[in-house]
Amino acid sequence: MKRIHEKALTIIVIMGIVTSMIGCRKTNLASTDVDRLTLIIIGFYPASYVVFDVDAQRLVNRYDFTDSWVAGDFDYFSATATSLAKQRRDSWQMSEEKWATIIAALNDNDFLSLPSELKGADVTDYVSLYLYIAGPDLKHTSGGYAVDLSKRRDCKRFTRIFVTVEEVLKK
């Protein structure tokens, strides 16, 4: 009876490993699959919001917001609010090479499989980081509070993507 139990347990473990491997296939994005990318850094004090928004023509717009400009109806991912919150600081054209670097980071770290809200480190007075991508057939957001301090595997994957995108977006 013990041997049957051990064999059954072994089969269940093997099936679980195979199932998890099949379920973890990466979805590779092509450069043309994504026509919008938004990176957001939300500070804690004074409240500040830095938003990089990249459109389909690879035009990068950087917006800086402070708590005095941000209304309650602020939408981080569209970088707009009904009151005068939009504060564009800079705008520039991104090269296809830099865009390819971003797409590679999204693919290498399987961005589409990350949950929309990540559980970051248990700290106070820190920043929140978010990435949003959209295209004709996709929309996905991921990020959260203190994710770059977390040791969780999904947070590390997100942080690798975020750091790469942030570096690429620096002029």
CATH number of the domain residue 105 falls in: 3.30.1560
Distance CA 30, CA 46 (A): 38
Mean pLDDT along residues 17-25:
42
136 located within any domain: yes
Q: Which domain holds residue 83?
A: 29-169
- 16 within some domain: no
pLDDT tens-digit readout, 45-77? 666 778 888 999 999 988 877 655 454 555 555
Mean pLDDT of all residues in 99-104: 96
Contact 33, 132 (CB under 8 A): no
> In this structure, is residue 4 part of a structural domain?
no
Please count the structural domains in the chain. Answer: 1
Contact 79, 53 (CB under 8 A): yes
Q: What is the pTM of this model?
A: 0.75
Q: pLDDT tens digits for 113-171?
A: 999 999 999 988 888 899 999 999 899 999 999 999 999 999 999 999 999 999 999 86
The reported pLDDT for the residue numbered 67 is 58
Rounded mean pLDDT, 22-45: 76
